[in-house]
Homo-oligomer: A and B are copies of this chain.
Amino acid sequence: MSQQKVISLENIRVACRNCSLSSLCLPMGLAPDDVERLDEIVKRTRPLHRGDFLFREADRFRSLYVVKTGSVKTFAPSPEGGEQVLGFHLPGEVIGLDAIDKDMHACSAKVLETSAICEVPFTRLEELTATIPSLQHQMYRLLSKEIGHDTDMLLLLGKKNAEERLAAFLLSLSKRLHKRGLSATDFYLSMSRHEIGNYLGLAVETVSRLFTRFQDDGLMHVDRKHIQLLDVGSLESLVGGAGQNRRQQQQQS
């Protein structure tokens, strides 16, 4: 390049204490001094681009990763050669927690759009959590929250029909974006219809048809990746269940 126009990396290396995500992320509820100590072990890498991997399945586990800006998908290979999308991760969300057990990543993480990522070496983090009770508690909560989220997905995949799944997906995105200060009703999807379908256990065609139907019903407006939710209340009642009275899955004692 002819012109020496290097942008100082310092500009993107926002310390945790100045990060707008600190209330969602690891530092949540930490004393300023402790945030400082956490700050010291966090590595801030240059921005990653669409298609870049944070890690791949079977990689040695070294660090947790936190999305600072952008979005990431995680996915696991299924035995037949296909793959299962496990999640879409927005700013403030932590990735890699499933790798602690076997000290190896069981899934891959791929960046969906240009993203900034914080890397947190796990061994250092573990040392830190042993001396900062509130950080230890935060870690337990984080891991527990992930389990709770997976539980929600199990219920979704086990009991909900296509309509309910897509509505739940849209509302989940909406809520999470809103928490991050973005619009809850107007946003862009960084993932393809394929990926949405894969994530929800549906065929692409079904996802596409549902987008069309939801739009026809006035629930939302769709233009390619651009989504506008027009009737959040109705979407919520769709998820709620009674969508179309499928037989109640009863349970014996």
A253 to B250, CA, bound (A): 41
Interface residues on A, range: 35 or more
Residues of B within 8 A of A242 (CB): 80
Q: Given A148-B101, A252-B194 in contact, is the A201-B159 Cβ separation under 8 Å? A: yes
Stretch of A31-39, A135-143, A172-180, A225-233 at the chain-chain interface: A135-143
Residue of B nearest to A84 (CB): B155
* In the complex, A114 has a CB within 8 A of chain B: no
Verify if A102 is at the interface (C-beta below 8 Å from B): yes
| Selected contact of A143 from candidates B99, B140, B158, B241, CB within 8 Å | B140
Of A2-10, A40-48, A125-133, A212-220, the one contacting chain B is A125-133
A76/B155 contact (C-beta < 8 A), A130-B130, A136-B126, A251-B82 known: yes
Q: Which of B84, B136, B195 contacts A159 (CB 8 A)?
A: B84
In the complex, the chain B residue whose C-beta lies closest to that of A200 is B158
A198 within 8 A of B: yes
Q: What is the minimal beta-carbon distance from A81 to any residue of chain B, in angstroms?
A: 6
- The reply on A79 being an interface residue by CB < 8 A is yes
Shortest C-beta distance, A138 to chain B (Å), equals: 10
Is the CB–CB distance between B148 and A86 below 8 Å? Answer: no
Tell me if A157 is interfacial: C-beta within 8 Å of chain B.
Answer: yes
Minimum CB distance partner of A157 in chain B = B157
Partner of A251, one of B51, B159, B195: B195
Q: Are A126 and B130 in contact (CB-based, < 8 A)? A: no
Interface residues of A in 66-99 (CB under 8 A from B): 75-76, 78-86, 97-99
30 A-B contacts (beta carbon < 8 Å): A51-B253, A78-B159, A79-B239, A79-B241, A80-B159, A80-B240, A80-B241, A80-B249, A81-B248, A82-B159, A82-B250, A83-B251, A86-B151, A98-B144, A99-B144, A100-B140, A100-B144, A101-B142, A101-B145, A101-B147, A106-B148, A126-B136, A143-B143, A150-B150, A150-B154, A157-B157, A157-B158, A158-B200, A159-B201, A192-B252
